[in-house]
Structure 1
Amino acid sequence: MIKNLAQLIEKTGKLASKTAIIFENKKFDYYYLKNNSDKFAQALITLGISKGERVGILLRNCPEFVISLFGVIKAGAIAVPLNFMLTEEELKPIIEEAGIKVIISCRKYFDILQRLRLRIEFFQDIILIDDQQKKGFYSIINKVYPGINLPQLLPDEVAVIIYTSGTTGKPKGVMLSHQNFLANIKSALKVVSFSHRERVICLLPLFHSFALTVCLFLPLYISAPVILISRLGPFRRVFTSMIKHRVTIFVGVPPIFKLIADMKMPWYMKIPVVKKMILPLKICISGAAPLPLEVWHRFERNFGIPLLEGYGLTEASPVVSINPPYRVKPGSVGLPLPGIEVRVVNEDGTFLPPGKEGELIVKGENIMKGYYKKEEETAAVIKDGWLYTGDIARLDEEGYIYILDRKKDLIIVRGLNVYPREIEEVIYYHPKVKEVCVVGVEDKSRGEVPKAFVVVKEGEELTAKELLEFLRLRLARYKIPRYIEFRDELPKSPSGKILRKELKDKI
């Protein structure tokens, strides 16, 4: 029985030589992953990494990410996957709070990390996967480490910390244990019956909890090959890879499924037998953001492949619910996974009956251990074992969940969380800005994008181009407002609070 994440790649017998991951047409078996992650774990211990310490991984999807992840876990340390789209200023508070001493990365991000290393006293080492020097990744794993024993891993120990923005936009480290992930995987497999014969494509970035659990840990659990994709575009290249490697399970976010639904397929792909021969996809899974009904209908009509929408959040490892393949209810996010309880409550925490709207709360073995170094924030969202999601929902008589809105003013860009306040605080730093309010607007390719309403200080002149140049130095690209509208004033309540909803409703 698998009791910790490290055991996902510790296959024996014939399974050891089975392909675990495929990357750029190269195959890597379980023995390769185990052997190299063992050595990397020993190297980290030699570098002074103790059990429970945090190690960062700043990489796109690649075999080295997987080896580093399991190496960190085997060393008894805690892996902190970092969003490679963040700027230097966005990475700094995460590295500082997590107390990260070592980061595995590549030359592309070296300059940013080197500057951060000079600014953060305890940040000591950068290990580059594309550096052949003494402390390069492959130099490290090609060494022998006699006498270095790996520690015992307990199911309830924290394995990974994933940073996600809080309601204020400030990053929060979600602590997830071995047991959290494994419970989520086992529950999901009771609903969607995958086997070792599947081939799962992983094109979502592995710093995202959805990708980490569903696209990496789950396939490894059932010994199914994972096809790693480092970049989403151009999508036809991804599509070619799917055909070549006979992908059967496709996991994505709504903008990707819209892109696929918009694709013009050759006439022969409309013939079921031919289509199955060329592209043997069995199931597609959508998560991380709401899936428009129109996209769902068009996708199923054009491809005839089940598209299952689910719901989750990082704090739940992350999957809470999914539409079962045998009984899909379009517009819903399905039924809670086995072993997971859900309720809808009002403001005072009273359970509401089916059909009534309220906040969705969740309970189960998949619920996080808490936010790292944030006891008050943890206590605010976990009460009596229930995780308060901040999402407004209703349940129908059969228990299907319908997400209606978000209590948080969250904007989801290609499945990534963007908080208006975070953008607003950066814009307020511009010396010519008097007031600002950021809202999310629909976007055909990204799902949602930020729009900023800006009031300029009296006597000043500010152009959208000037403001965008200011923001590019301070925000990740996907967080930068797609639209900027200048106004003489913003609507306010009697108390002076900017009326965000009023601005959004008039778009």
Structure 2
Amino acid sequence: MSELLRVRGTEMHDKPCIKTPDGNSALTYGELDRAASAFAARLQERKCRAGDRVILGLSNTPDFFVALFGCFRGGLIAVPVDANLAIDELQVIVNHAQPAAIIAGDGTESRFKSLRVDCEVLTLEEDGRERATATYEKGLPENPALLLYTSGTTGDPKGVLYSHATLLRKIESIRQCFGFDESYTSLCLLPTHFGHGLICNSLATFGYGGTLVITPPFNLDLLRQLWSILNRNRVNTFSSVPTVVRLLLQYAANRDAGTACPSLKFVTCASAPLRPEEVEAFQHHFNVPLLNCYGLTETCGWIACSPNSSDRNLASVGKALDCEIRAFDPNGEPLKPGEKGELRVRGPSVMVGYYKHSNVSGTVAQDGWLATGDVGEVDESGAVFLHSRVKEIIIRAGKNVYPAEVDSVLLSHPEVADACTVGLEDQLLGEAVAACVVRRDGSALSEIALIDYVRGRLINYKCPQRILFMERIPKTSRGKVNRSKLRSLFEGQ
């Protein structure tokens, strides 16, 4: 990855590499190359050595990429984290990663210094960008480069380690899939501390020599400014999550102007299920293709991508990207095309195991298949369809209820803005179906009316018995929901 930047810095010295939302060039490729060397030199002065871990707590800034490529250049392992995690959550990651240094961002230095750590907490501002260059640690492509932690929705987060070769192959496969070249300008509005925003959006842009416009992670202020940012920077593509898509549709529904960007060629969406109706609504309203993608932290990002073609199946998350994807039954036997089971993936981007836990049973089989934990199917054409997480399946009186299917029906109601279905303990039936629902502004939709609506569209055992209305459904910075935590909201109701 360091060599990739060195080549870009030489061949595209004066080309804008990273821009800020106001359209100003924060760093050219040449400037990023020099700044990365300077920062690597600083880390080496602090006794950081090849193979050491360095935690990066300054997401979504130009300086984040200086620190990231500085780690690559010094042969260090970069560990991007969400600095807004609870202190206890940060402590778990620090204890596991055992970093040689922590790089804090604006306003986060005190949080990291409050942790129990055996290393320095540094900021980029102390350094400036004009320093002696580092001893260049070229290393081997197979050497570790990046350590990302899973969201931890089923327990403590696990660290997934990527090599330089894995990252390079993934960003090249993304370039080939979508036909990217150096003429593209990409926007990143997703957090750079997880794979979707970092690898599939940002590093992929540097891989094809494009220009990256970096914003703070998506929030309501950005929602109001997004289309002006896109137009000002002549953005050609950006990636999103379903929550972003839904908010854009809600915001645009009340506004007829300011929601067009002639330069925009397509938008990608991943990290959670997206309904075909939402894809159609987005494409109709904004006149730009919305392409479903699918990936995991354990696979270095996307393993399936939708083609940018008008005849693609909007219910599919696309076809396998540089890998194999198949559905398996509970006994580990492969299923026929169109049969529903747990999806498994095999290919060059699949991890060999979790950091410090290389032999995690049931995750990666001896033949290389990674159990994704997702229920889905692969049709005869190779199109992949998602239905639910294995552990999220609700079993009511011996019958499987897929939360995503119930969510889809709830979201189809014109007065529902967001919904999440969970299973509650039921002494008679095993589990009962319940749902957390966010009503649209001004709606007085009742629990009875919404349950009746669902009953008209699903068989009775799949219908919610209880609905809890709330102002918003809590999501992580990755746009994901921890359904197990939502169950506690029903206690005492």
TM bucket, shorter chain: 0.7 to 0.9
2:359 partner SS: helix
Q: Does the 8 Å contact 1:58/1:104 carry over to 2?
A: yes
Relative to structure 1, is the Cα distance of residues 9 and 211 closer, same or farther in structure 2, using a 3 angstrom cutoff?
A: farther
Whether 1:291 aligns to 2:290 is no
Measured in 1, the distance between the counterparts of 2:437 and 2:166 equals 33
Residue 201, structure 1, aligned to residue 187, structure 2: yes
Q: Does residue 333 of structure 1 match 2:314?
A: no
Partner residue in 2 for 1:368: 351
- Kept in 2, the 8 Å contact 1:341–1:363? The answer is yes
SS of corresponding position for 1:20: strand
1:484 Cα deviation (Å)?
2.5
Would the aligned equivalents of 1:247 and 1:279 in 2 still touch at CA under 8 Å? Answer: no
Q: Which residue of 1 aligns with 2:246?
A: 258
Q: Distance in 2 between matches of 1:66 and 1:314?
A: 20
1:351 Cα offset (Å): 1.1
Residue pair 2:325, 2:378 contacting (<8 A) in 1 also: no
Query: Could you tell me how far 1:111 is from its partner in structure 2?
Result: 1.9
1:19 aligns with 2:19: no
Amino acid in the other structure paired with 1:306 = P
The structural deviation recorded for 1:93 is 1.2
* SS of match in other structure, 2:239: strand
* Structure 1: 4+ residue segments shifted above 6 A: 437-440, 476-480
The one-character-per-residue Cα deviations of 1:288-345 (angstroms, maximum 9, x if unpaired) are 11112221111111122111001100111111101111242111111101x3111111
1:218 aligns with one of 204, 207, 225: 204
Residues 1:228 and 2:227 aligned together: no
State how far apart, in whole Å, the 1-side matches of 2:160 and 2:337 are.
30
* Contact 2:58 2:106 (8 Å CA) reproduced: no
Partners in 1 of 2:439 and 2:141 — Cα distance? 42
Query: In the TM superposition, what is the alpha-carbon distance from 1:482 to its structure 2 partner?
Result: 10
Paired position in structure 2 for 1:7? 4
Contact 1:17–1:30 under 8 Å retained in 2? yes
Contact 1:5 1:182 in 2 (8 A): no
Residue 238 (structure 1) aligns with: 226
In 2 relative to 1, CA 406–160 (structure 1 residues): closer, same or farther, beyond 3 Å? same
Q: CA deviation at 1:240?
A: 1.5
1:55 aligns with 2:54: yes
Partner-residue secondary structure (3-state), 2:381: coil
Is the contact made by 2:227 and 2:258 (CA closer than 8 Å) also made in structure 1? no
In structure 2, relative to structure 1, the CA distance for the partners of 1:192 and 1:24 (3 Å cut) is closer
Letter in 1 for 2:198: L
CA apart distance, 1:284: 0.5
Give 5+ residue unaligned stretches, structure 1. 131-135, 413-417, 421-436, 446-470, 489-507
Structure 1 range deviating more: 203-212 or 176-185: 176-185
What CA distance in whole angstroms lies between the structure 2 residues aligned with 1:230 and 1:213? 17
User: Pick from 334, 343, 346: which aligns with 2:329?
Assistant: 346
Deviations 1:397-426 (A, max 9, x none): 1110111110134999xxxxx9x9xxxxxx
Q: CA RMSD in A?
A: 3.1
SS of structure 2 residue aligned to 1:365 = coil
Could you give the per-residue CA deviations for residues 326-370 of structure 1, whole angstroms, max 9, x where no partner exists?
Answer: 242111111101x31111111222111011111111111111232
How far residue 198 of structure 1 moved from its aligned partner, in angstroms, is 1.1
CA shift in 2, pair 1:169/1:6, >3 Å: farther
CA contact under 8 A between 1:229 and 1:238: conserved in structure 2?
no
Query: Is 1:40 matched with 2:30?
Result: no
Letter in 1 for 2:385: Y
Q: CA deviation at 1:150?
A: 1.6
For residues 221 and 22 of structure 1, the distance between their equivalents in structure 2, rounded to whole angstroms, comes to 16
Compared CA separation, residues 86 and 15, structure 1 to 2 (3 A): same
Q: Are 1:128 and 2:114 matched, yes or no?
A: no
Aligned mates of 1:444, 1:48 — CA distance in 2: 54
Match of 2:135 among 142, 146, 149: 149
The residue aligned with 1:76 is 75
> Are residues 1:137 and 2:127 paired?
yes
Report what 2:463 is aligned to: none
Cα drift, residue 383 of structure 1: 3.2
Number of aligned residues? 416
Unpaired segments ≥5 residues, structure 2: 394-402, 405-419, 423-431, 441-473
| Secondary structure of the corresponding residue to residue 8 of structure 2 | coil
Tell me the secondary structure at the aligned position of residue 204 of structure 2: helix
Which residue does 2:491 correspond to in 1?
486
- Residue 494 of structure 1 aligns with which residue? none
Equivalents in 2 of 1:477, 1:360: separation in Å? 19
1:89 aligns with 2:88: yes
User: Is the CA contact (8 Å cut-off) linking 1:9 and 1:33 kept in structure 2?
Assistant: no
Partner of 1:467: none
1:444-477 per-residue CA deviation (whole Å, 9 max, x = no partner) reads 79xxxxxxxxxxxxxxxxxxxxxxxxx9xxxx99
Query: What do the CA deviations read for 1:207-246 (whole angstroms, capped 9, x no partner)?
Result: 0101111221111111110000014231122221111001
Question: Could you give the per-residue CA deviations for residues 84-120 of structure 1, whole angstroms, max 9, x where no partner exists?
Answer: 220110000111111112111124112221111xx23
Structure 2 CA distance for aligned equivalents of residues 103 and 181 of structure 1: 23
Describe the SS at the equivalent of 2:345. Answer: strand
The residue number in structure 2 matching 1:306 is 289
For residues 444 and 383 of structure 1, the distance between their equivalents in structure 2, rounded to whole angstroms, comes to: 47
Q: Partner of 1:393: helix, strand, or coil?
A: strand
Q: Given the superposition, is the C-alpha separation of residues 142 and 191 from structure 1 closer, same or farther in structure 2, using an over 3 Å criterion?
A: closer
Q: Distance in 1 between matches of 2:330 and 2:488?
A: 34
Q: Please give the secondary structure, in 1, of the residue aligned with 2:206.
A: helix
Partner SS, residue 93 of structure 1: helix
Calculate the TM-score normalised by the size of structure 2.
Answer: 0.78
